[in-house]
Structure 1
Amino acid sequence: MAISDYARIEQAILYLDAHAREQPSLDDVAAHVGLSPFHFQRLFTRWAGISPKRFLQVHTLVSARRLLAERHSVLDTSYAVGLSGGGRLHELFVTLTAMTPGEFKLGGEGLTVRHGIHPSPFGDCLIAVCERGICGLHFLSDEPAEEALVSLRAQWPRATFMESREATAAWAERIFPSRPPREPTPLSVLVKGTPFQVQVWQALLRISPGHVATYEDIARSIGNPNAVRAVGSAVGDNPVALLIPCHRVLRKTGVFGDYRWGPARKKVMLAWESLRYGAEDEVGEASRVVP
């Protein structure tokens, strides 16, 4: 998906969310994003897997308060409901590997990091990989490629960097498959962080798509309920967007909060996941109520 398409989707979802009480028509939303109703309907349905009308019927799925009330992920019991294999994204199982303290001190010495820019449902992204898995994923519309590379190099200061879109293309296809895989695909993520950061990132993997958690939930789940502020810092330092799902963390007040790659993108990502993973029952219920 071209970044211009993502920009239109973002505008459309924010518009639908802001004007839900007014029940805007397809023509209204299409005009807002500068497309004909026919082309906007096709674009939105291809992206969301659901029509704009159905999205409007279930628009509260992207409401933080409703997410917290009805789709709230209780991390302490996540393993009991089939999440013992780690977090899920699409049909992917993400396994997080942390560098040892000795490797941490080396700063990536001996690693060759290959990177490339690829399209995604949420705009262009920079993907970085090494022989041990994905070591970076940054969205670019709010963070230029040059800044993303600076951040990546700071994370791995002694690594060797090579631009190689060919090397990262296969990984991009696994993260954002053009068609759902027949079987779940294990996906390894390599991170460099303090023990506390790694603990927080591992907790994030237990939040399943379509669900959210609060910073307080994560602090409790790692056995440190008073470390809410430190948890927030660790969430913000997440180096691998989407796969380590920091976008699924909300404030307990129901506010979406900040997001390293833009608060609007965070809202769109949660909307996409809610539609893909939790909207089926909601849509069925809505269709019985809304003509």
Structure 2
Amino acid sequence: MGALPDEPGPVDPKNQPRRQAFSNSPLWRNLRLSVQVATKLNRSHLIPGEVTFLLPCLSRIERDVQASGPQTVTMEDSTSVIHPSLGDVEPSSKDLLSEAAIVTGMANATLKANPKLDWAAWTADYARVRDAIAETYPQWFSDFNAKLKKPGGFYRANKARERDFSDTKTGRAIFVPPKHLSATGFADEPGLLRLMTLRSNDQFNTTIYGYEDRLRDVSGTRDIVFIHPADITQFGLVDGEVIGLSTEADDGIRREKLGLKVFAYDVPRGCIGAYYPECNVLVPLSHHAVESKVPAAKSVPVRIVRG
């Protein structure tokens, strides 16, 4: 129920030039300075500003040794549990710095000295950073370093999960009714499909580690479009056939993704699935959730392109 108010809004042509500008990059290239810290190259690194620094850093799986010894970083999983992470792979270059070393190095070089901000100490021992986090957010991170020693990590309180609504004006849960029953942002039409973009099991966010999706029995490629067998028949397609998708939007911008192999799969009729970021090109920036502005990548109006 909580997701209903944040439904996709209609495609708004007035917003679209922002996407067009980013794809052509004139505004991004006009930035006086851009600094990118990354563990691997991606497309955004090919779009520099007037002055651009691309700073490679240690990845989480590589050994991070500082003045106090090997360092531990932390990560929070989707269940609000925080785990320690200690790299055990030899760094790909002896010259790589950690993210912490890069950020504190820039701060130390550009900011005035402040006795409350000991950049060198924070770089030497990440536990000092966690102590500062615990002091700043005691409701979640008190005894941060001690809790990290707990097997399986420690749970960061989530009020919604615990049904704690004491911070609301009424002390109860507040539900905002949707303006209409459809949460897709567009009406049904013959031949119009709802595209939901998704990731494979060997993918973290937009980082792709391989081409084996064991969850869906896909191997060797990500150029896939998942379609219900009945819809394959209805559209006169064949399992394994290569097709394209075209976005339906009234903003005058053509969005197509070609070279997708039809893959029979048990998705709802009228809906299809494909991997992101490969199919991000089909998502209009103006097709987004009403309040959060998150692109509505689970409900994109598309049509099949043949030949």
Scaled by the length of structure 2, the TM-score of the pair is 0.22
Determine which structure has more spread, i.e. the larger CA radius of gyration: 2
Bigger RCO of structures 1 and 2 (CA < 8 A, at least 6 apart)? 1
Question: Which structure has the highest strand share of the two?
Answer: 2
Question: Which structure has the highest helix share of the two?
Answer: 1
